[in-house]
Structure 1
Amino acid sequence: MSDNRKRTEARDFHPEVLRLFDQYVHGLTSRRGFLKGASTYAALSGATAVELLDALNPRFAAAQKIAPTDPRVVTEFVEIDSPQGYGKVRGLVARPAKAEGKLPVVLVIHENRGLNPHIEDIARRLAVDNFIAFAPDALFPLGGYPGDEDRARELFTKLDQTKTREDFIAAANYAQSLPGGNGRLGAAGFCYGGGIVNFLAERLPSLAAGAPFYGAAPPLDQVAAIKAELLLNFAGKDDRINAAWPAYEAALQQAGVKYQAFIYPGVEHGFNNDTTPRFDEVAAKLAWERTLALFNRTLRG
């Protein structure tokens, strides 16, 4: 089905509408709460609150860069065991159709909506860049990504995060041993997934590199366990996440962890997600180039 909505940008929305949307996306307010709060600003723009919400929601087809049928990529869905988690993990493996030698593997970790079409596309993009990617779906125990972002967010709140985190550990261990892989593992994650990258970094000494995008910091008393090199990407207009960064950075420095951190000025939380108006093309391009450079430098050879 085609999506004929007009392409919008963050600057097309009042900052308060963006703040309300961030709260809604992260379960801090309900759909009704967003619509009520946004109604005043909707009237000023000549739209309805429902129309504002529709404009802010993802446009997966319009943003897709690598189609599932792209001949450069081979994909398959796999199920693996997770005895300490929910028992089973399902995810997408994407690899180059033509590969010479063994390749590094990158675990791709979604936002708080499960393995939606955007994250599948990220995995395929990595395959085109000559990596093997594995993108697990945390919602698999509850039936998997349901095809609807609102329903996905609702399901996400029902997960037992202790089990879910064990599922991601199982996924990381599986990814590192994938056939055709060179045994070197990196991880990239976005929002919720950025927090999981930070978590995996302190739990898995075998993780060589991590690129969390606007993700929650791990427990500071565990930072000394991090062996991975980190590339941390933050949005300038993301007070909710950025508030924890000074203490996290101090802990990284004290522990001697190798890292780089970049705060991209003037952009919103979610700036790398090119399916929504919060996407910022300049910041996203630079952050992704830095991420690929990290993985190429630390995972190959």
Structure 2
Amino acid sequence: MSLRAEWVQFRDGDKKYQLYTSRLENAKTPLPVVIVIQEIWGTDAHILELTDRFAKAGYLAVAPDLYAEDGQRPAELKEDRIEQVKDFLNTLPPTVWHDPNARYAELKKLPERKREDIQSTFETLFGGLARMDQYLEILKATFQFLQNYEYSRGQKVASTGYCMGGALSAMLAGVEPRLAGAVVYYGNLPQKEQLQGIQCPVLGFFGGLDERITSQVPGFAEAMKEAGKSFTYEIYEGAHHAFFNDTRTSYHVDAARDAWAKTLRFFKEVLA
């Protein structure tokens, strides 16, 4: 199966953005689009491989680099620095990832220079959660770019996102009424007052052991129902946060296999 995968840059006003694009080489006509929204780790090898998987399913799949500033990443967010943080966290149980005290206790065991580099990049990454509105602007610009892009012109567009990207997938649904569907993998869910803009079906996947995120699901489901909007979801018992990421120790193969099949079914329906 031959893919045409490349990085594309485009301008929106005075800003330049870049996104990874992937499609089947022999798919000559414009294709329905899946926007693949990164985890906090950026457009890393996992996100690019996942984008290719959607392309192999017959879509134009695109992954915007939310960390690129005018087409380039700042030093703290270069791939090698982010990989250091990931490698460190992969030595810890998933339950420690979001426990600052336990995490710092493990960090102090590292050599000073390595500890400082990891701490600096970690703070930059997670400080980026305060820039969600900025990332949302990049996604809105990407959606607009796709309206006239030669490989997607005239086609429907849907989104899927993971962790931070899951939250952004839901946020995009709230501000872009033309979005055909949104998939949320273990991302923070919008508040009740933010639901009115959602016009498309939303599908969610969550880990039963990921209480910080999964505890939001019942309230969101009820609010969506009251607003007359479509939200379906799965909670996988025994699965942690990031259960879909097969490069992490949190990977849960049964949950990931089921979620993948249901995601493809969802896109087949909303992008038809």
TM-score normalised according to structure 2 size: 0.78
Q: Does 1:77 align with 2:20?
A: no
1:119: how far off? 0.2
Residue 145 (structure 1) shift = 4.3
Percent of pairs with identical residues? 29
The aligned residue for residue 208 of structure 1 is: 180
SS at match of 2:180: strand
Corresponding position of 1:238: 210
Partner residue in 2 for 1:117: 45
Tell me the CA shift for residue 248 of structure 1.
1.0
Q: Which amino acid aligns with 2:2?
A: R
The residue identity in structure 1 corresponding to 2:125 is F
- Is 1:191 the counterpart of 2:124? The answer is no
Secondary structure of the residue aligned to 1:268 is coil
* Distance (Å, rounded) in 2 between the aligned partners of 1:249 and 1:299: 23
Give CA-to-partner distance per residue, 1:88-121, whole Å, 9 cap, x none: 2211010111115432100000111111010000
1:106 and 1:187 in contact (8 A); partners too: yes
Structure 2 CA distance for aligned equivalents of residues 186 and 280 of structure 1: 25
**1:155 corresponding residue in structure 2:** 124
1:297 positional shift: 1.3
* 1:126 alignment partner, one of 54, 58, 61: 54
Equivalence map 1:218-229=2 (5 Å): 218-229=190-201
Name the SS of the counterpart of 1:183 in structure 2: coil
Q: From 266, 269, 272, give the equivalent of 1:297.
A: 269
Instruction: Give the structure 1 partner of residue 110 of structure 2.
Output: none
Gaps spanning 5+ residues in structure 2: where? 86-117
TM-score, normalisation: structure 1: 0.71
- Tell me the residue number matched to 1:146: 79
Q: Name the CA distance, whole Å, in 1 between partners of 2:20 and 2:6.
A: 6
Kept in 2, the 8 Å contact 1:113–1:153? The answer is: no
Count residues in correspondence: 228
Which 5+ residue runs of structure 1 have no aligned equivalent? Answer: 1-70
User: Which one-letter code corresponds to 2:30 in the other structure?
Assistant: K
Partner of 1:264: 236
Q: Which residue of 1 aligns with 2:146?
A: 175
CA–CA separation in structure 2 for the residues paired with 1:155 and 1:115:
16
In structure 2, give the amino acid aligned to 1:286. D
1:224 and 1:257 in contact (8 A); partners too: no
What per-residue deviation string (whole Å, max 9, x for no partner) do you get for residues 217-239 of structure 1? Answer: 12321212211111111111110
Cα distance, 1:261 vs structure 2: 0.9
